[in-house]
Amino acid sequence: MSSAEEELKKLRAGIDSLDTEIISLIQKRAGFAQEIGRVKKESGGPIYRPDREKDVYEKVTKLSGGPLPASVIRAIYREMMSGTIALEHPLKIGFLGPEGSFSHAAMRSKFGTSIEAIPQTSIPDVFRMVEEGKLDYGVVPVENSTEGQVSSTLDMFLETDLSVYSELYQRISFSLLGFETDLSLVKKIYGIRIGNEQCRNWISANLPGVEVVDTSSTAMAAKLVSERKDGLAIASKIAGEIYQLNVIEEGIEDYSGNTTRFLVIGKTESPRTKEDKTSIVFSIPNQTGSLFAVLKTFNDASVNLTKIESRPLKRNLWEYHFFVDFIGHKEDPKIAELLEKVKSQCTLFKLLGSYPTAGSFPT
């Protein structure tokens, strides 16, 4: 046996020994998680706790000194937490389908794979299924960095009593999927219109003259390619996994950084953490200075607004609902006082929830 082979044998033996120890520790951790689940069940507490999830991610990120990047460590712990939650109670999570959509990818990045993922045909369906108790939580898009607000999500908050339980950011990156690797032979591309437009420059440069077929979703594009085998799809990598397509090219969008913010909706409220965000919706009298007065209340309290969006009232022409996100938790004394003042200035006021911030970048 050569010296190199001898060295490899010793190194692999070290890995095997560590693997044995790691598996033992993972199972021991799962045992503690089961006990925690028992206590939560007896006390009536929620199974999924985004505040605890955030604490774990922050802790392991700080402990991670390399060589593996923190993102890999987070992914490992995401699956461990997903698995241990499933030991307590397999979560039913709804999302805007079909499988392979970016909403599906966001749901997996938040909850892992040890859950029952249940696709819905529309955003209102996600809300209704959660409200009826058929789903534990729903994952819905609320805004995109290039396309703006998702109106149907905002509208549904006015029609249900569900709360925002958590948030996440998902990078929207398009891949070219299919079976044919020689681009010169490709005659057709399938994709959702908005995705096709966001990849226009890449398509023009690499596939000039190719027929572009609009589909109802990126996942449907991947499904059609898997069935027809007559072109390529512009979709997410997760769609490629589901429909067993090769990734021909990654990151074909014209502008990187396209990101969608998603909300986790449910019937329960998220516990307070050190870094929270609160969402509200309100209407104000249709008179001069009404909106200014509300915004001044936030300014006087030195509260940072992170978003303000308007949606027209369906019954009153040229009057609006205002959706506002700001830093702080409803249980913070300063925020509690602020909310009472804002409520007194409005004709309609609804607290949508306080929840842990997801930070500024996709997870």
- The predicted pLDDT at position 252 comes to 95
Q: How far apart are CA 361 and CA 145, in angstroms?
A: 11
Q: Is pTM, for the whole model, over 0.95?
A: no
Whether the predicted pLDDT of 273 surpasses 70: yes
Residue 279, in any domain of the structure: yes
Average pLDDT, the chain: 91
The pLDDT tens digits for 274-285 are 899 999 999 998
Shared domain for 186 and 237, answered yes or no, is: yes
Q: Does residue 262 carry a catalytic annotation? A: yes
Which residue reads 């569900």 in tokens?
A: 162
| Domain final residue pick, 52, 86, 120 | 86
Residue 136, in any domain of the structure: yes
**Cα separations in angstroms, 68 against 75, 79, 182, 362:** 11, 16, 34, 19
Catalytic residue among 84, 215, 218, 260: 260
**Over the range 313-350, which residues count as b (16 or more CB within 10 Å of their CB) and which as e?**
eeeeeeebbbbbbbebbbebeebeebbeebeebbeebb
CATH number of the domain bearing residue 241: 3.40.190.10
Shared domain for 291 and 327, answered yes or no, is: yes
Phi/psi zone of residue 352: left (φ > 0), alpha (ψ -120 to 50 degrees), beta?
alpha
Q: How far apart are CA 318 and CA 311, in angstroms?
A: 10
Residue 363, in any domain of the structure: no
- Greatest alpha-carbon pair distance for the chain in Å reads 88
| Domain final residue pick, 31, 56, 86 | 86
The pLDDT tens digits for 219-247 are 999 999 999 999 999 999 999 999 999 99
Whether the predicted pLDDT of 45 surpasses 90: no
Number of Cα atoms under 13 Å in the Cβ half of residue 221: 33
Residue 274, in any domain of the structure: yes
Catalytic residue among 262, 282, 322, 323: 262
Residue 362, in any domain of the structure: no
Q: Which domain holds residue 61?
A: 3-86
Residue 115, in any domain of the structure: yes
* Token pair belonging to 213: 């077929």
Q: How far apart are CA 255 and CA 326, in angstroms?
A: 28
- The DSSP letter of residue 99 is T
Residue 254, in any domain of the structure: no
| Domain final residue pick, 220, 249, 278 | 249
CATH number of the domain bearing residue 336: 3.30.70.260
The pLDDT tens digits for 281-304 are 999 988 889 999 999 999 999 999
Shared domain for 82 and 99, answered yes or no, is: no
Residue 283, in any domain of the structure: yes
Q: How far apart are CA 49 and CA 56, in angstroms?
A: 11
Number of Cα atoms under 13 Å in the Cβ half of residue 263: 28
Which residue reads 């020689």 in tokens?
A: 182
- The three-state DSSP-derived secondary structure of 192-204 is EHHHHHHCHHHHH
Q: Report how many domains make up the chain.
A: 4
Contact 174, 255 (CB under 8 A): no
Strand partners, 163: 266
Shared domain for 82 and 121, answered yes or no, is: no
Whether the predicted pLDDT of 362 surpasses 60: no
Shared domain for 82 and 107, answered yes or no, is: no
Of the pLDDT bands very low, low, confident and very high (cuts 50, 70, 90), residue 360 is: very low
Shared domain for 96 and 81, answered yes or no, is: no
